[in-house]
């Protein structure tokens, strides 16, 4: 028997609680993992609260991130005792995820825990830090350098935004953070933002072309915010889109792309190829220091997950939530 957060449906509504589960309930996979830590992401919050149809099949164990020790492996890539990380691949949506003490997974979804990062730190980074790193890599590969100009990060107080600011700062970029919580300005400046702007300056409908300012953008918000970011990006600039906190819509014009040569790049962290995953995690292990990770995360236990999920969706959580899964 092992404990896990378990989501069922009753009267077409999601019901989540911590229950005892049996090994024979675990889904198919060629690697059995003893989960040490997981996380609570925005997508996990939607799944647990039922506020969006994230879960594709019931019952479900949520948790799109996990790190743990291999207990059993039928894969040549991993052996008993190896520590592995998982991000995405529909885990926590279509396949039981990391918010339980055990997980049975496909080896193709796993990568080794990089040297220089311990298990807890890897989940403090999690999908948020991994997505932020993919976004930064996209800017780099499109030729955006620290000398190119200011980089805008929207949704700056969230997990992705927080890591994006820190990573960009470590690489020498000048970062402007957009947030709806101006009271958190000191937190964002400590991460490395040189300037803070209120999200209201970007979140309302704007002109198709605006004054050129940004050399690059990491957008975690979508909707009008993404449209305005594109409209105010400099000639030849690059905008990465990795979130939809404001909405999935994109009420924009083609003008920035045609008249200014702006590039809009989608950042997928769910189905990313193995080589991209390894590259991103290697860079994370090189750029982030222990104090970076610790300052952006708080730890909770499995029993706290459901209540914390509601707080997360209400905008009451800053940075990352690490879930200690394995009882010590």
C-alpha span between 144 and 167 (Å, rounded): 14
Per-residue burial over 211-247, b if 16 or more Cβ lie within 10 Å, else e, is ebebbbbbbbbbbbbbbbbbbbbbeebbbbbbbbbbe
Distances in Å between the Cα of 100 and the Cα atoms of 111, 170, 186, 225 are 19, 34, 35, 36
Cis (ω within 30 of 0) for the bond into 59?
yes
Q: Domains in the chain, start-ordered, CATH in brackets?
A: 2-117+292-324 (3.90.180.10), 126-266 (3.40.50.720)
8 Å CB contact between 223 and 140: no
Q: For the chain, give the number of residues.
A: 328
Tell me the H-state helices in the chain: 42-49, 119-141, 159-170, 185-191, 223-231, 255-259, 274-287, 290-295, 305-313
pTM metric for this prediction: 0.91
pLDDT, one tens digit for every residue, the chain (328 residues): 999 999 999 888 889 999 999 999 999 999 999 999 999 988 999 999 999 889 999 999 999 999 999 999 999 999 999 999 999 999 999 999 999 999 999 999 999 999 989 999 999 999 999 999 999 999 999 999 999 999 999 999 888 999 999 999 999 999 999 998 898 899 999 999 999 999 999 999 999 999 999 999 999 999 999 999 999 999 999 999 999 989 999 999 999 999 999 999 999 999 999 999 999 999 999 999 988 888 778 899 999 999 999 999 887 887 789 999 987 6
20: which strand partners?
A: 3
């Amino acid at each position: 028997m092992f404990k896990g957060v378990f989501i069922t449906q009753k009267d077409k509504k999601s019901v989540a609680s911590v229950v005892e589960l049996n090994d024979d309930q675990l889904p198919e996979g060629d690697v059995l993992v003893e989960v040490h830590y997981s996380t609570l992401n925005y997508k996990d919050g939607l799944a647990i609260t039922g506020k969006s149809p994230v879960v594709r099949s019931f019952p479900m164990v949520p948790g799109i991130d996990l790190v743990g020790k291999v207990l059993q492996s039928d894969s040549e890539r991993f052996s008993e005792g190896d520590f592995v990380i998982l991000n995405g691949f529909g885990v926590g949506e279509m396949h039981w995820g990391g918010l339980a003490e055990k997980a049975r997974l496909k080896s193709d979804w796993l990568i080794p825990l990089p040297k220089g990062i311990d298990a807890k730190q890897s989940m403090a980074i999690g999908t948020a830090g991994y997505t932020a790193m993919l976004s930064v890599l996209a800017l780099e590969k499109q030729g955006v350098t620290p000398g190119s100009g200011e980089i805008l990060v929207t949704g700056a107080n969230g997990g992705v935004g927080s890591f994006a600011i820190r990573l960009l700062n470590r690489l020498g970029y000048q970062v402007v953070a957009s947030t709806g919580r101006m009271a958190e300005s000191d937190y964002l400046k400590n991460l490395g933002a040189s300037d803070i702007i209120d999200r209201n300056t970007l979140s309302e409908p704007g002109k198709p072309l605006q004054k050129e300012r940004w050399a690059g953008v990491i957008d975690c918000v979508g909707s009008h915010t993404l449209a305005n970011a594109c409209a105010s990006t400099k000639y030849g600039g690059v905008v990465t889109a990795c979130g939809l906190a404001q909405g999935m819509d994109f009420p924009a014009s083609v003008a920035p792309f045609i008249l200014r040569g702006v590039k809009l790049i989608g950042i997928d962290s769910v189905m990313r190829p193995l080589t991209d995953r390894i590259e991103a995690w290697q860079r994370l292990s090189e750029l982030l220091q222990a104090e970076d990770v610790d300052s952006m995360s708080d730890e909770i236990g499995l029993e706290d997950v459901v209540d914390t999920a509601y707080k997360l969706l209400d905008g009451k959580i800053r940075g990352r939530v690490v879930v200690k899964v394995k009882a010590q």
